[in-house]
Chain A
C-alpha cells in the first residue's frame, strides 16, 4: 500500500510518501497505525476539511483497503 500526504500534512509528518507492507485492511486501521507512531499527524488527519482518497477517488466515511491501494490524505485545497 502507498500512503501519500499532501500540503501541511507532509510537513507535520516529515514524509510525503510511504509504502506499507503488510497493509492495514481499512482506513480506520491505517489511521490507528499512524496514530501509534505520530499523534500530531493523527490529530491533523482528523482536523477540519481533511479528506481521504483511495485510488484517486474521494471516500467519505470508513472503507476497506486492498493491499495494492493508494491512499492519499488531502487537507483543504486551494488553487488559482
Chain B
C-alpha cells in the first residue's frame, strides 16, 4: 500500500498493522527516514508532491520491487508538506518469506525514493530556503541496482 500523509504519522502503529496476521511471511524489514535538524541549520523541510502522479509513480516502483525480490507485500508511507526536525518523513516496510529479499527490497526502495520519487524538497534554515536535489551519493546508490 502506498500512502501520502500531510500530517505526522506513527511508524510503530503503521508497522504493527503491517505485521498483524502474517502467518506466511517469515520476514518483515523496515526503514524509517527522519528529518534531520543539522545542528539548527535546518529548521524545517517542505516537501512538494504532485497528487495522483506521485502515488502512481511510487506504486509502479513498488510493483517492480515486489516482482524483483519476490515480496509478499509492501507498505510505503511518505510525508509531504512542512516537516519539523525529528518527525518521520518516510516509512518503507517489505514482507517476504525469507529475510534477504525483505532487506534488499527495503534498501532498493529507499534508493529509488531518494532520487526518483516525484517529490521536491525545500530545506528551511537560518540562511533562507534552498531546494535539495539528489546528491552524487544518492545517484551512485541507485545505480547499484542496474
Q: Kindly identify which residue among B33, B78, B110, B120 contacts A77, using a CB–CB cutoff of 8 Å.
A: B120
Q: Which residue in chain A gives the minimum CB-CB distance to B52?
A: A56
Interface hits, B51-76 → A, CB 8 Å: 52-53, 56
Cβ-defined contact, A72 with B50, below 8 A = yes
A17 to chain B, nearest CB (A): 11
Whether B124 sits at the interface, judged by CB under 8 Å, is no
Encoded as 1 (CB less than 8 Å from any A CB) or 0, chain B from 121 to 138 comes to 110000000011110001
Whether B117 sits at the interface, judged by CB under 8 Å, is yes
Q: Which residue in chain B gives the minimum CB-CB distance to A8?
A: B131
Cβ-defined contact, B90 with A76, below 8 A = no
Q: Which of A4, A53, A76, A77 has the most CB of B within 10 A?
A: A77
Measured between beta carbons, the chain B residues less than 8 angstroms from A80 are 33, 89-90, 110, 113-114, 117
Given that A4-B50, A6-B120, A56-B53 are contacting pairs, would A78 and B90 also be in contact in the complex, using a CB cutoff of 8 Å? Answer: no
The count of residues in chain A whose C-beta lies closer than 8 Å to any C-beta of chain B is: 16
B138 to chain A, nearest CB (A): 7
With A and B bound together, what is the CA distance between A78 and B133 in angstroms? 6
Cβ-defined contact, A79 with B114, below 8 A = yes
Q: Which of B53, B56, B116 has the most CB of A within 10 A?
A: B53
A30 to chain B, nearest CB (A): 18
Cβ-defined contact, B53 with A77, below 8 A = no
Q: List 25 A-B contacts (CB under 8 A).
A: A4-B50, A6-B48, A6-B118, A6-B120, A7-B122, A8-B120, A11-B131, A49-B133, A56-B56, A72-B50, A74-B50, A74-B118, A75-B131, A76-B133, A76-B134, A77-B115, A77-B119, A78-B132, A79-B78, A79-B90, A80-B89, A80-B90, A80-B113, A80-B114, A80-B117
